[in-house]
Each structure stands twice: as structure tokens, then as C-alpha cells.
Structure 1
């Protein structure tokens, strides 16, 4: 009996210690920034400008801006939880080749930007990027919000409080809390998690056209999380399920044209 009690006590102690460690390092498990600055001139992309954007809490963000061609809209882009802007160059080139404008902001702590990432900080970063877009002369009818993975939570939070033409969400999630429950089912993440990105709550205040794109074999953000979020979104809304697609699918040759077609339709509707 004493042996059993000792085993149970040891297991309980190990569990509690693991939960404490998980809580202590949770942001290191949620954000994977590459802090190194790569100048736009080193990216291989032509015709853009390397900007520095100030947030309302005093951080300085690196941002890349490319003006649109032929009346196309501006894509205000919010990236995922890893790397830096330089890692998105192939994707950015696809949009630029189609004539879209682009304003991509590097979150705090990423790619030469000051500060450290938190949910509140990333939301401030998105608001600073939006202000920059307006200062550059883009009205809300010319702005398409776009988020990828973690960035979908940032984009949705922005869309809930700021006007735009439409929003594109690649690999969205019901909430970061929902994803964490899937990854760490034995821990009380409801109590432990700080940066929850409650897109399930914010999406209800988004009243612009929504496009969600998700790979059916996404092993990072489960499809059912995206489907649950879609169910909460207001009309008009469109869901593109990519058969065989993994986590990020926007660049696939059978997906990218569909996304562009949808963006063009929204832009022509709101800004003839």
C-alpha cells in the first residue's frame, strides 16, 4: 500500500512539475521568431520600400510595402508564428506578380522589430500596420486583410474593430486555446494559457466577406477547429477545403488562383 501511495505521489508531483514548466515556457512554445533583420533589398523583391512602423506602446516594426498596379487592392498581411518576412518571399512574389499591393509587417521580436511577442503586442502591431496603410493613402475599400496560421487570429481581431474590404484566413483556428487543448490534452490549459487568441469571440464582430482556406491533412491546426470557426462567421463567407493539403496551402497551383479570383470579386464589388 505504501509503495502504491509513493508511486501515486511521485506521478502527481511529476505532473504538477510538468504543468508548471509548461506554464512558464508557454510563449516559447507559441512563438518562434527569427529576430535577425533582413533588408528588403536582400530579398530579391523589386519595387518596394522598407518601412519602420511605430506602435502605440513604443515598439518599432519592420514592414515591407509594395504599391498595387492596375487598380488592384492592398493585401495587409499577418504572418504565422515562426521565422521572419524573408521566409515569405516566394508567397509575396506570387501576389506582386498578380499586381496586388502588399504591406507585410514583422511582429515585435521578429525580423528586426523591437520587443517580444505576446497576444496583446501582436494586436497592437496589427493596428499600427493598419494605421500605416491608411497613412499611405489606402482607404478601407482597398484593403484586404490576410492572415496565415497564428496570423489569422491577429487578422480577425483587427477586422472586428477596423473597416476593410474583405479578409482571407489560411489555416484558421477556433482559438489558440482550442489548439492547445488538442496538443496538451492532459493539462488544464484553460487555467494556464495566457495568449488565447479567441477568434471564436472576435469573428462575430467581423462584418466583411470572409474566405477561409484549410488543408484537409493539416497536422498543426485541425480542420474541425477551422470548420467550427467558419460556423460562427457572418455571411458572406466561403470555405475552401484543400484535399491532401497540409498546414499552409495558399501557394499551391490549384489554390492560389481561386484565392485571387475571390479577392478580385470582393475588390470589384466594394470598389468599382
Structure 2
């Protein structure tokens, strides 16, 4: 084969890969478990009840509400990552209960029996519905903590930037700068800037966050490089703390001491 033929063949292969990426990119971003999770009581979760949240675009989505022990405890709005469902966060719910926190765990549309399909715009509405539910309950802004897990960090940052006076603190677990940056890292030969629909551009929004920020990350994260967390910290204008486990990978922050680090942060930063 001539060099020209090889080059054309390579371009066609890249073009085919690009077309597949554009058509199926949602399957590369969102990995929902569609099975509805059991009721919290059947999972042994105490002080937890299932709630239904109504989104601005008319969906009814599941959430789990962990009751706070008193009216002074932090209440976390937990925005989970791109895989699984609330079932896979049952251990995290119990961990928060032991810390003496309240929490509202939002389950994304298209996950765990929820109607709809995930997208950046849709999940933004889901996150806003969670914050609105806490506000409707009368939880004071100083007690509300936005906790984003991986993909959920984009929505924690977005909410805190949109409503800077509505939250007392932000915790970002394994955050990334943008989906475009991740796509360029994992698919360097493809024109991701032309193909990607959902951008999740946290780097451009974090400067509008006013609440104190804690970034939790693992030095051995091969999915989201720790440099992205450091870039977010550098761009932030609010008070920011960076905690990094030298041994943790992407999904190992909690077991590596991240919960304890967050507890100490909230004691320092919440009134």
C-alpha cells in the first residue's frame, strides 16, 4: 500500500471512530444501573426514607433523605458519579449517618428506575431539584454542603456558582476540569472539540463559587489525573483546601481517609 493509501485508510478509520464516538458518546459518559434500588429499610439503612423530587422539566426522580440528628448538623446534597445507582451508595449513606450528618442523595434521571435519559442539561435540573428540596424544608444555607462525586462534581460546582449564597461549603471528590479535557486525554487522536455534546466545563465555573471548597483526590487516579484537581484549586477564588491520598485511585477516596478529611474540613469551615 502507498503512503497516500495508508494515510487515507487511517483517516477513514479515524472518521469512523469519530462518527461512532458522536453517536454513542452517552454510553461512554453515563453507566446507569437501571434497576430500582430496594427501599432503604431493606438495606439496613436507618433514619433514611425514599423521596420523590420534581424537576423543572417535569420528571419525578428518586432521592434518599438521611435525617440529620438535630437542626445544627450539616446537611449534604450528594450528587453521585456516572455509574450504578443509589444502591451502590448505601455504604456512603451509612458512613454519613455515623458522622452525624444529614444528607439528600439525588439519583440521576435514567438511573435506578428513574425516567428520562441522562444529559448535562437534564442532570443539572436534577441537581437543582435536590437543592430546592432542601431549601423548601427550611435548611439554612450555612448548613447545606454540596458533595459531588466524580461526574457529580460538575453539578456541585455549577450549583454553587449559580446560587453562591445558597450553600455553606462544597466538597469535590475526584473532580475534573471538563469533559473535553478528559476526552482529549483518553481519545487523543479524535477531534473531541467537534464531537462532544456535554462539556461539563467546571474550570470555567469554579471561580464563581463563593463557599469554601474541599478537593479530595487520589494520586493513583488513572481516570482523572490529579493535576485536574490542582488546576481547579488554582482557578478557584474562594477558600480552597486540597487533600490528596498518595495511594488512592479514582473510587478509593472514602476508604483512604477522605470522609475523615471532609469531616475535619466541615468543622473548620461551617459556622
Computed over aligned residues only, the root mean square deviation of the Cα atoms, in angstroms, reads 1.3
With the length of structure 2 as denominator, give the TM-score of the two structures. 0.95
C-alpha contact (below 8 Å) 2:248/2:256 kept by paired residues: no
CA distance in structure 1 between the partners assigned to 2:3 and 2:222 by the alignment: 38
Alignment of 1:227-246 (within 5 A): 227-246=230-249
CA distance in structure 2 between the partners assigned to 1:257 and 1:8 by the alignment: 54
The alpha-carbon deviation at position 253 of structure 1 amounts to 5.3
CA distance in structure 2 between the partners assigned to 1:121 and 1:253 by the alignment: 32
Report whether the alignment pairs 1:206 with 2:209: yes
Report whether the alignment pairs 1:61 with 2:61: yes
Structure 1: gaps (5+ residues): none
Structure 1 runs, 4 residues or longer, greater than 3 Å off? none
CA distance in structure 2 between the partners assigned to 1:43 and 1:57 by the alignment: 31
CA distance in structure 2 between the partners assigned to 1:250 and 1:138 by the alignment: 28
Q: Secondary structure of 2:216's match?
A: strand
Deviation string for 1:100-148 (max 9, x for gaps)?
0010010100112110000000101010111111112212111011001
CA distance in structure 2 between the partners assigned to 1:234 and 1:248 by the alignment: 27
CA distance in structure 2 between the partners assigned to 1:249 and 1:3 by the alignment: 49
CA distance in structure 1 between the partners assigned to 2:136 and 2:31 by the alignment: 30
The alpha-carbon deviation at position 247 of structure 1 amounts to 0.6
Report whether the alignment pairs 1:17 with 2:20: no
Q: Secondary structure of 1:80's match?
A: coil
Structure 2: gaps (5+ residues): none
CA distance in structure 1 between the partners assigned to 2:69 and 2:193 by the alignment: 46
Deviation string for 1:128-179 (max 9, x for gaps)?
1111111122121110110010000011001111220000000011111111
Report whether the alignment pairs 1:101 with 2:124: no
- 2:93 match: 92
Cα 1:253–1:243, aligned 2, differ >3 Å: closer, same or farther? Answer: closer
C-alpha contact (below 8 Å) 1:33/1:110 kept by paired residues: yes
Cα 1:253–1:13, aligned 2, differ >3 Å: closer, same or farther? Answer: closer
Report whether the alignment pairs 1:44 with 2:75: no
